[in-house]
Structure 1
Amino acid sequence: MDMPTVAIVGRPNVGKSTLFNRLVGKKLALVDDRPGVTRDRREGDVNFGGLIFRIVDTAGLEQADSDSLLGRMRAQTEAAILEADVVLFVIDARAGVLPADQPFAELVRRAGCPVILIANKAEGGAGMSGAYEAFSLGLGDPIPFSAEHGEGTGDLHDALIAALPKQEDEDEDEDEDPANRSLKVAIVGRPNAGKSTLINKMLGEDRLLVGPEAGITRDSISLDWVWRGQKIKLHDTAGMRRRARIDDKLEKLAVSDGLRAVRFAEVVVVLLDATIPFEKQDLTIVDLIESEGRALVIGLNKWDLVADQNGLLKKLREDCTRLLPQVRGVPVVPLSGLAGEGIDKLMQAITGAVEVWSTRVSTSRINDWLSAATQRNPPPAVSGRRIKIRYATQVKARPPHFALFGNQLDALPKSYTRYLVNSLREAFELPGVPIRLSLRTSKNPFDKG
């Protein structure tokens, strides 16, 4: 079967070539801050977490006379759209939706192929308001993304699985019946936390090299396992170490294969050494997992070496609530990889985390919650006019993502959005998973609230 084709399109300088380079894995496309660097279509073959396709980088879409250079570049881009199986429509999340985006969104819609909307340059949560603006393009839910740093890779992978023609690959099982597909679990943590020892005990064999030296595992290793009839694909990762001379906190996580494992996993187990728990690096790893929207479980390894187990477990759960408010209620499981203790409880926590991560709540229940939450703690007033939240719905699961509609929501204080997230978590029993909240302000000039 011929490889499907994915075209990257958008107006100039939104990061299309940076996205192309990330997917291909090589710097094949010239990247510069000046718009219009890419003039011809550039193609590359991609193996993206088992998805095989040809990617096409195009010139920035601009309206121009057909005989001009810009017009010929646009014609090349339109040809790429017509030949594509899937279009990645890229906007700059920091700039938001510009008037120039609208006619080209219409052009992509008319092409009739699946479209994935990417709100690029949204690293570290930057530009999220611009990402929410992208709903107005009518191209579906935008994926907040950073081509520069790789944030949002897992969500893009999920969207491509749904959009691309089905691929026959014996190693991939995304398209199987959900009851038969493998649950993807990544085990991450600092070097020498005991990740490989734990996986060997799960598998019942010395499949992975282990030892007292930190850093024996140098890359991400995928292993198949079955627990109580559930297929599991386990990813053992290299210990995540700091990189010297790099300021960005996520870039300090050293091993790119480990990052890939996190981005393609459904559940990530952060394995801590119970004798030296919660260092700054662990909090950084949890930040990455939360930003990627994965389900999370914390494993306290080497529990057999702890003297006051009851006292330490209570303290560590309190530390989790204090240090990790963005995943409040995350499961914390004591275990010993060496002794094989606690593995069953860990797996129960993993399958439970997936259920919570996949939760869908009916719109009627959400609006009942919204009414009660805003009555209990009304939104503040801005310039003498009270912010009003009129309506809420869930736009997707994995992780749970809710959209709120009303007036002046862009002025809603972060403290109030935190209140809403915590209230959602409590009302719908969503412990330990990232919760996304989109705020959509009415543009009706006659809406006086």
Structure 2
Amino acid sequence: MATAVETLGKLERRITISFPLTDVRTEVEKRLKVQARTAKAPGFRPGKVPLKMVAAQYGYQIESEVLNDKVGRAFNDAANENNLRVAGFPNIVPKEEAAEGQLAFDATFEVYPEVVIGDLTAVEIETVQAEVSEAEIDKTIDILRKQRVHFHTKGEAGEHGDGGEAIAANGDRVTVDFVGSIDGVEFPGGKAEGYAFVLGEGRMLPEFEAATLGLKVGESKTFPLSFPEDYHGKDVAGKTASFTITLQKLEWAHLPEVDAEFAKSLGVADGDLAKMREDIKVNLQREVAGRVKARNKEAVMDALIKVAELEVPKTLIAQDSERLAEMTRQDMAQRGMNVKDVPFPAELFAEKAERRVRLGLILSQLVGDNNLQATPEQVKAQIEDFAQSYEDPREVLKYYYSDRRRLGEIEALVLEENVVTYVLGLSKVTTKAVAFDELMGSNAQA
């Protein structure tokens, strides 16, 4: 039996559930007898263990199972009878006062909110577009060359030349010994032998690189180095150290020529440079299209958040915060980081979770109201699009269609795209051209 639904807040509700204690005892006895058929105990044949011994061993567990089943069933029945859309899981606690011979529980929970979406025709959305020019292809080729760089001893004649005068310059790879001290005392992490880095890449502090420039092999230099206040090494942050650096090895960078061999290294079997450039262009266009789509989708989602009115269930935010925290932990562990003793407070993810839940509710409302569900044809087309960049597209199709969860991820992607298309079709859209580098961000850099 359940009481009438109490309204505790905009979304919070409470139901009191009660049922006769005799119902619980009867069900417990029934399950104990079933358990006794296979129960084992020293000195007894299977199925011949006295019921009292079975109750002593399994009684608490079975009673808990019976209570959980009865309370859960009663709550679900009450929610259905009252047409309640329960958000998350209810918080169920025993009620202190109950009628004689009765067990009572208070179930406190939240319901899904009403989602009111404003006039989409009045919404202004700025989308972006970007082009892939010959300059972007050239820049990508330069990046690919740098990824295939090889080093030679500077000043020694070789197949590709000698690299010029044997003096450390930007672009050279230097191998150094160094030792640092503060007030005449060496500090942890301030000493190394055979440490290699490329000058000009910014891996070292500016004073360190400046001191290395111009050195010849075997030469040393002592110089002051001021650590920034926000330096990761707290013991030296904000302090000035004295460093002595000795150049042990000097190498110059040789970039591969853009020729047939270079094209073959990129997978162009016949070494055709025109074909290589076309392949690079197609790949860049695919990457640009993905970035543009992501930027425009984000613009639509931002607009929906502004135009929609709803209360977000705290229960769902808490659940998604926990999910995000666990996903972060797993991701860091897969990257080889030791996260065993690292705390991942769910509160850190609350803001992101709130946005995700809010958008989920808005999208669900839009999809239901406007029949924007993903069709099988759309899902297949999306997977085939993904498969284009793989050597065997059939394996990609098999990968997704063999797992319902993976297929569900594609359906969710298509559903979001349907919403984006629908919203852009109604709203006031302006399009801004953005530079390739701006769109690609740090990924466009060498």
TM-score category of the 2 structures, normalised to the smaller one = under 0.3
TM-score after normalising by structure 1: 0.18
Structure holding more helix per residue:
2
Structure whose alpha-carbon radius of gyration is higher:
2
Higher relative contact order (CA 8 A, sep 6+): 2
